Amino acid sequence: MNFIRTTIPDVIICEPEIFADERGYFVETFREDKLENFLGFKVNFCQDSESKSSYGVLRGLHYQIPPYAQTKLVRVIKGKVLDIAIDIRKGSPTFGKYTAVELSEYNKKQLFIPIGFAHGFVVLSEDAIFTYKVDSYYCPEYERGIAFDDKDIDINWQINQSELQLSLKDTKQPKFKDIEELFKFESNYYV
């Protein structure tokens, strides 16, 4: 497993070694010891979730506030998505910035997104199966979001806005400047 820091250093691409031949392939998708050794702290994942979406489905931008804030490890089993993580840690040098990574069934990359980030993705293939590993249970009353089309963040979703498919909830999220529940930034520590 190779770990690569993105343009926001706390968001990490986890790139597995793929062993492939004419019969198929084998890949380790998660190694707690290697991830924690790279991070320098322990992560206790407690829930796995999966979604299936068709082309143009945009899910996000979501996060949960304490005490149910979540660290995520996400990947694509089928298809291709553009995955987005936005830094919402007040005082962070990358506060309000985002990083975008293409995740696909072919590159088998995963994205580690720590607490203090809003997360979303858009499906770029005909359909996609997307999995989440999180360290805190889903709790809808603590879920928050940011508008996917906020001009202050200016995300390039790589497809025309007319082709996007969103839930009603995701069309009514507040602008970044209007969110109230921000996270405090401290070096290598997330509150």
pLDDT digits (tens, 9 = 90+) for 71-116: 999 999 999 999 999 999 999 999 999 999 999 999 999 999 999 9
**Residue carrying the six token digits 């506060």:** 95
Sheet holding 12-15, edge to edge: 2-5, 12-15, 110-113, 72-78, 127-134, 47-54
Please tell me the predicted confidence (pLDDT) of residue 183.
86
Q: Using omega within 30 degrees of 0 as the cis cutoff, is the peptide bond preceding 140 cis?
A: no
For residues 108 and 78, give the distance between their C-alpha atoms in angstroms, rounded to a whole number. 10
Collapsing DSSP states into helix, strand and coil, what is residue 151? Answer: coil
H-helix or E-strand spanning residue 171: helix 168-171
Which residues are bridge partners to 38 per DSSP?
A: none
Which residues are bridge partners to 64 per DSSP?
A: 143
The distance from CA 136 to its chain's CA centroid, rounded to whole angstroms, is: 15
Q: Which of 62, 63, 68, 138 is catalytic?
A: 62
Domains, the chain, ordered by start: 2-181 (2.60.120.10)
Catalytic, 119? Answer no
For residues 64 and 80, give the distance between their C-alpha atoms in angstroms, rounded to a whole number. 25
Query: What is the average per-residue pLDDT within 57-79?
Result: 97
**Residue carrying the six token digits 């996917």:** 148
Catalytic, 62? Answer yes
Q: Which of 63, 98, 119, 132 is catalytic?
A: 132
Mean pLDDT of the chain: 94
Four-point Cα dihedral 136, 138, 143, 147, nearest 10: 100
pLDDT digits (tens, 9 = 90+) for 14-29: 999 999 999 999 999 9
Q: Nearest-CA neighbor of 81 among 50, 111, 57, 102?
A: 102
